[in-house]
Amino acid sequence: MNPALDGDRELVERFCAGGDEAAFRSLHARHSPAVYALLRRLVGPDAEDILQETWMRAARRMPTFRGESAVRTWLFAIALNTAREIWRERVRSGELDTDRRQAGGLGSEDALDLQQAVAALPPGYRAVLLLHDSWGYTHAEIGAFLDVDEGTSKSQLTHARAAVRRRLAGRATARTGGAG
Protein backbone atom coordinates (compact mmCIF):
# COMPACT_ATOMS: atom_id res chain seq x y z
CA MET A 1 0.00 0.00 0.00
CA ASN A 2 1.25 3.47 -0.84
CA PRO A 3 1.43 5.60 2.36
CA ALA A 4 0.74 8.81 0.41
CA LEU A 5 -2.48 7.31 -0.97
CA ASP A 6 -3.51 6.17 2.50
CA GLY A 7 -2.73 9.67 3.81
CA ASP A 8 -4.88 11.21 1.09
CA ARG A 9 -7.77 8.91 1.92
CA GLU A 10 -7.46 9.79 5.59
CA LEU A 11 -7.54 13.51 4.73
CA VAL A 12 -10.62 13.00 2.54
CA GLU A 13 -12.34 11.11 5.36
CA ARG A 14 -11.50 13.83 7.88
CA PHE A 15 -12.83 16.53 5.56
CA CYS A 16 -16.02 14.59 4.83
CA ALA A 17 -16.63 13.63 8.47
CA GLY A 18 -16.51 17.10 9.92
CA GLY A 19 -15.40 19.63 7.37
CA ASP A 20 -11.82 19.50 8.68
CA GLU A 21 -10.32 22.60 7.07
CA ALA A 22 -6.74 21.56 7.85
CA ALA A 23 -7.32 18.27 6.00
CA PHE A 24 -8.62 20.14 2.97
CA ARG A 25 -5.66 22.57 3.07
CA SER A 26 -3.28 19.59 3.19
CA LEU A 27 -4.90 18.01 0.13
CA HIS A 28 -4.83 21.37 -1.63
CA ALA A 29 -1.13 21.92 -0.87
CA ARG A 30 -0.21 18.37 -1.87
CA HIS A 31 -2.04 18.25 -5.21
CA SER A 32 -2.45 21.80 -6.51
CA PRO A 33 1.01 22.05 -8.11
CA ALA A 34 0.44 18.95 -10.27
CA VAL A 35 -3.13 19.88 -11.19
CA TYR A 36 -2.04 23.44 -11.99
CA ALA A 37 0.84 22.17 -14.17
CA LEU A 38 -1.56 19.99 -16.15
CA LEU A 39 -4.04 22.85 -16.56
CA ARG A 40 -1.31 25.32 -17.50
CA ARG A 41 -0.26 23.05 -20.36
CA LEU A 42 -3.87 22.50 -21.42
CA VAL A 43 -5.43 25.95 -21.11
CA GLY A 44 -2.58 28.39 -20.63
CA PRO A 45 -3.39 31.56 -18.72
CA ASP A 46 -6.83 30.29 -17.66
CA ALA A 47 -5.23 27.58 -15.52
CA GLU A 48 -5.49 29.47 -12.24
CA ASP A 49 -9.23 30.13 -12.62
CA ILE A 50 -9.90 26.54 -13.62
CA LEU A 51 -7.78 25.27 -10.71
CA GLN A 52 -9.90 27.31 -8.31
CA GLU A 53 -13.11 25.95 -9.85
CA THR A 54 -11.66 22.43 -9.71
CA TRP A 55 -11.11 22.73 -5.95
CA MET A 56 -14.58 24.16 -5.37
CA ARG A 57 -16.09 21.23 -7.24
CA ALA A 58 -13.82 18.77 -5.43
CA ALA A 59 -14.91 20.14 -2.06
CA ARG A 60 -18.58 19.69 -2.99
CA ARG A 61 -18.03 16.22 -4.43
CA MET A 62 -15.58 14.87 -1.86
CA PRO A 63 -18.27 12.85 -0.07
CA THR A 64 -18.76 10.93 -3.34
CA PHE A 65 -15.05 10.02 -3.61
CA ARG A 66 -15.00 6.21 -3.40
CA GLY A 67 -11.25 5.71 -3.29
CA GLU A 68 -11.21 3.57 -6.42
CA SER A 69 -8.44 5.78 -7.78
CA ALA A 70 -5.83 8.05 -6.27
CA VAL A 71 -7.04 11.46 -5.12
CA ARG A 72 -4.76 13.11 -7.68
CA THR A 73 -6.29 11.03 -10.47
CA TRP A 74 -9.75 12.02 -9.28
CA LEU A 75 -8.70 15.70 -9.17
CA PHE A 76 -7.22 15.46 -12.69
CA ALA A 77 -10.56 14.15 -13.93
CA ILE A 78 -12.43 17.03 -12.27
CA ALA A 79 -9.91 19.54 -13.69
CA LEU A 80 -10.19 18.11 -17.20
CA ASN A 81 -13.98 18.09 -17.07
CA THR A 82 -14.02 21.65 -15.74
CA ALA A 83 -11.68 22.83 -18.50
CA ARG A 84 -13.77 21.03 -21.12
CA GLU A 85 -17.02 22.59 -19.84
CA ILE A 86 -15.53 26.08 -19.80
CA TRP A 87 -14.07 25.61 -23.30
CA ARG A 88 -17.42 24.41 -24.65
CA GLU A 89 -19.21 27.38 -23.11
CA ARG A 90 -16.69 29.77 -24.64
CA VAL A 91 -17.09 28.17 -28.04
CA ARG A 92 -20.88 28.49 -27.77
CA SER A 93 -20.67 32.11 -26.69
CA GLY A 94 -18.07 33.00 -29.33
CA GLU A 95 -15.51 34.23 -26.81
CA LEU A 96 -12.87 31.53 -27.32
CA ASP A 97 -9.61 33.24 -28.20
CA THR A 98 -6.99 30.62 -28.98
CA ASP A 99 -4.55 33.26 -30.26
CA ARG A 100 -3.96 34.61 -26.79
CA ARG A 101 -2.48 31.32 -25.55
CA GLN A 102 1.04 32.11 -24.51
CA ALA A 103 4.02 29.80 -24.60
CA GLY A 104 5.45 31.29 -21.43
CA GLY A 105 9.15 31.94 -21.26
CA LEU A 106 10.72 28.99 -23.06
CA GLY A 107 14.24 29.76 -24.21
CA SER A 108 14.55 27.86 -27.45
CA GLU A 109 12.70 28.75 -30.63
CA ASP A 110 12.02 25.06 -31.24
CA ALA A 111 10.58 24.62 -27.75
CA LEU A 112 8.39 27.65 -28.32
CA ASP A 113 7.20 26.21 -31.63
CA LEU A 114 6.38 22.91 -29.92
CA GLN A 115 4.50 24.67 -27.12
CA GLN A 116 2.46 26.64 -29.65
CA ALA A 117 1.80 23.54 -31.76
CA VAL A 118 0.46 21.71 -28.71
CA ALA A 119 -1.61 24.75 -27.66
CA ALA A 120 -3.18 24.86 -31.14
CA LEU A 121 -4.53 21.31 -30.84
CA PRO A 122 -8.23 20.77 -30.17
CA PRO A 123 -8.71 20.33 -26.40
CA GLY A 124 -9.39 16.58 -26.59
CA TYR A 125 -6.25 15.90 -28.60
CA ARG A 126 -4.21 18.22 -26.36
CA ALA A 127 -5.47 16.51 -23.21
CA VAL A 128 -4.64 13.02 -24.49
CA LEU A 129 -1.21 14.09 -25.76
CA LEU A 130 -0.25 15.73 -22.48
CA LEU A 131 -1.67 13.04 -20.25
CA HIS A 132 0.08 10.30 -22.22
CA ASP A 133 3.37 11.86 -23.32
CA SER A 134 4.01 14.34 -20.49
CA TRP A 135 2.41 12.60 -17.54
CA GLY A 136 2.81 8.97 -18.55
CA TYR A 137 -0.79 7.84 -18.13
CA THR A 138 -1.99 4.76 -19.98
CA HIS A 139 -4.77 4.89 -22.54
CA ALA A 140 -7.05 3.06 -20.10
CA GLU A 141 -6.42 5.75 -17.46
CA ILE A 142 -6.87 8.55 -19.98
CA GLY A 143 -10.11 6.96 -21.14
CA ALA A 144 -11.35 6.97 -17.55
CA PHE A 145 -10.32 10.62 -17.02
CA LEU A 146 -11.93 11.85 -20.21
CA ASP A 147 -14.84 9.41 -20.30
CA VAL A 148 -13.84 8.01 -23.70
CA ASP A 149 -12.96 4.52 -24.93
CA GLU A 150 -9.34 3.41 -24.75
CA GLY A 151 -9.35 3.18 -28.56
CA THR A 152 -10.51 6.79 -28.80
CA SER A 153 -7.59 7.84 -26.61
CA LYS A 154 -5.16 5.97 -28.87
CA SER A 155 -6.69 7.50 -31.99
CA GLN A 156 -6.62 11.02 -30.55
CA LEU A 157 -2.98 10.59 -29.55
CA THR A 158 -2.09 9.49 -33.09
CA HIS A 159 -3.94 12.46 -34.60
CA ALA A 160 -2.45 14.88 -32.06
CA ARG A 161 1.10 13.77 -32.77
CA ALA A 162 0.51 14.01 -36.53
CA ALA A 163 -0.94 17.52 -36.19
CA VAL A 164 2.02 18.67 -34.10
CA ARG A 165 4.47 17.18 -36.63
CA ARG A 166 2.67 18.92 -39.52
CA ARG A 167 2.65 22.25 -37.72
CA LEU A 168 6.33 21.99 -36.77
CA ALA A 169 7.26 20.97 -40.32
CA GLY A 170 5.35 23.99 -41.65
CA ARG A 171 7.16 26.32 -39.28
CA ALA A 172 10.55 24.86 -40.19
CA THR A 173 9.76 25.32 -43.89
CA ALA A 174 8.63 28.88 -43.31
CA ARG A 175 11.77 29.64 -41.29
CA THR A 176 14.08 28.35 -44.02
CA GLY A 177 12.08 29.99 -46.79
CA GLY A 178 11.06 26.67 -48.29
CA ALA A 179 14.63 25.44 -48.71
CA GLY A 180 15.16 22.06 -47.27
CATH of the domain at 163: 1.10.10.10
CB distance 145 to 156 below 8 Å: no
The residues, any chain, with a CB within 8 Å of residue 15's CB and separated by 6 or more, are 23, 24, 27, 59, 62
Give the pLDDT of residue 5: 54
CB distance 164 to 129 below 8 Å: yes
Of 63, 80, 101, which residue sits at a domain end? 101
Structural domains counted in the chain: 2
pLDDT confidence band for 102 (50 / 70 / 90): very low
Give the pLDDT of residue 106: 37
The answer on 116 and 91 residing in a single domain is no
Give me the CATH number covering residue 58.
Answer: 1.10.1740.10
Per the model's pLDDT, the better-predicted residue between 65 and 174 turns out to be 65
Count the Cβ atoms, other than its own, within 10 Å of residue 111.
11
The answer on 118 and 80 residing in a single domain is no
Mean local confidence (pLDDT), 151-159:
95
Q: pLDDT, tens digit, for every residue of 114-134?
A: 777 887 888 788 888 888 887
Domain that holds residue 95: 1-101
Per the model's pLDDT, the better-predicted residue between 146 and 111 turns out to be 146
The answer on 144 and 96 residing in a single domain is no
The answer on 33 and 115 residing in a single domain is no
The answer on 137 and 164 residing in a single domain is yes
pTM value is: 0.60
Q: pLDDT, tens digit, for every residue of 12-41?
A: 999 999 889 999 999 999 999 999 988 887
CB distance 1 to 48 below 8 Å: no
Q: Is 57 helix (H, G, I), strand (E, B) or coil?
A: helix
Whether residue 101 is predicted with pLDDT greater than 50 in this model: the reply is: no
